[in-house]
C-alpha cells in the first residue's frame, strides 16, 4: 500500500487530462488520468464505483451537473463519502452521504470533482479542473 505522502506526491503531477476512461458500471461516467492514478495507487477503484453508482441510481445526484465529492476518514478504519451539489439557487447543498464501514484509504481526506458536459459525467482531481 502506498503511503499518504507518496500518494500526495504522485497526485501533484496531474493537471488536465488527455485521456478519459469509461466506467464499467455506468457508461455515462468517465474519469481522468489523475482519478485513475488515485484509484490505482490507493487501491480505491471502489471510490470511483461509488460515484458511478450514485450517478446511476440517485436522480438528485445524476441531475446535478457540478458535484463535489469528499471522502473523509473517521476514527478507526471507517470513512464518510459525501457529495455536495447545487441547491438550485447558486449555493451548495449536500445531495448524498454514505458511511464506508471499512477502508484502508491512505489519505485523511480526498476531494474529487464530477462535472457533466451534458452527455456524461467526468470525474477528476481538483488539480485537473
Q: What is the CATH number of the domain that holds 43?
A: 3.10.450.150
Q: Which domain holds residue 104?
A: 4-128
Rounded Cα distance between 23 and 8, Å, is 24
pTM value? 0.94
Q: Count structural domains, the chain.
A: 1
Report the pLDDT value the prediction gives residue 1, as an integer from 0 to 100: 76
- Please give the mean pLDDT across all residues of the chain: 95
Report the pLDDT value the prediction gives residue 86, as an integer from 0 to 100: 79
pLDDT for 24-80, tens place per residue?
A: 999 999 999 999 999 999 999 999 999 999 999 999 999 999 999 999 999 889 999
For residue 62, what is the enclosing H or E element? helix 59-62
Amino acid at each position: 500500500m502506498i503511503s499518504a505522502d507518496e500518494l500526495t506526491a504522485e497526485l501533484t503531477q496531474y493537471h488536465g487530462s488527455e485521456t478519459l476512461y469509461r466506467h464499467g458500471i455506468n457508461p455515462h461516467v468517465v474519469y481522468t488520468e489523475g482519478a485513475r492514478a488515485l484509484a490505482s495507487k490507493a487501491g480505491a477503484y471502489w471510490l470511483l464505483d461509488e460515484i458511478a453508482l450514485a450517478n446511476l441510481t440517485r436522480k438528485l445526484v445524476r441531475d446535478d451537473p457540478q458535484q463535489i465529492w469528499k471522502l473523509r476518514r473517521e476514527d478507526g478504519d471507517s470513512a464518510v463519502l459525501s457529495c455536495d451539489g447545487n441547491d438550485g439557487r447558486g449555493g451548495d447543498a449536500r445531495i448524498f452521504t454514505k458511511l464506508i464501514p471499512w477502508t484502508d484509504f491512505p489519505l485523511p481526506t480526498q476531494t474529487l470533482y464530477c462535472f457533466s458536459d451534458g452527455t456524461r459525467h467526468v470525474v477528476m482531481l481538483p488539480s485537473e479542473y
